[in-house]
Amino acid sequence: MTYTKQVREYCENHKGTIIDVSKVKAEEFADIPYKTLLKILNRLEEEKIVTSVSKGVYSIGKLKSGNQPNVLKQYIGDGKGMVVGYMLYNSMGISNYHPLITEIYTNAMSSSHKNIENYHLTRVDLEFTNDVIEFIVLLELLKDFCNIKACNVLKLDRAIPLFLHRYSDELFEKVIKAKDYPFSVIVMLEKKLNEKGILNHCRDIYCKIHDCAISVF
Print the SS3 string covering 79-137.
CCEEEECHHHHHHCCCECCCCCCEEEEECCCCCCEEEECCEEEEECCCCCCHHHHHHHH
Domains and their CATH numbers in the chain: 3-60 (1.10.10)
Strand, coil or helix: 205: helix
Q: What is the DSSP string of 137-148?
A: HHHHHHHHTTT-
Distance CA 36, CA 15 (A): 21
Contacts of 194 (CB under 8 A, 6+ apart): 200
pLDDT at 110: 85
Is residue 107 packed enough to be buried (19+ CB in 10 Å), middle (13-18) or exposed (0-12)? Answer: middle
Strand, coil or helix: 126: coil
| Residue 154 vs residues 105, 109, 159: alpha-carbon distances, Å | 26, 37, 9
| Residue 207 vs residues 78, 90, 125: alpha-carbon distances, Å | 32, 33, 20
Spatial contact of 169 and 205, defined as CB atoms under 8 Å apart: yes
Strand, coil or helix: 104: strand
pLDDT at 63: 57
Q: pLDDT tens, 149-169? A: 999 999 999 999 999 999 999
When pLDDT is averaged across residues 190-196 and rounded to a whole number, the result is 97
Contacts of 55 (CB under 8 A, 6+ apart): none
Predicted confidence band of residue 81 (pLDDT cuts 50, 70, 90): very high
pLDDT at 192: 97
pTM tops 0.95, yes or no: no
pLDDT at 216: 47
Sign of CA dihedral 7, 12, 18, 24: negative
| Residue 121 vs residues 31, 95, 114, 130: alpha-carbon distances, Å | 27, 21, 5, 20
Q: pLDDT tens, 115-145? A: 888 899 999 999 999 999 999 999 999 999 9
Spatial contact of 60 and 50, defined as CB atoms under 8 Å apart: yes
Alpha carbon distance, N-terminus to C-terminus of the chain: 65
Predicted confidence band of residue 44 (pLDDT cuts 50, 70, 90): very high
Predicted confidence band of residue 64 (pLDDT cuts 50, 70, 90): low
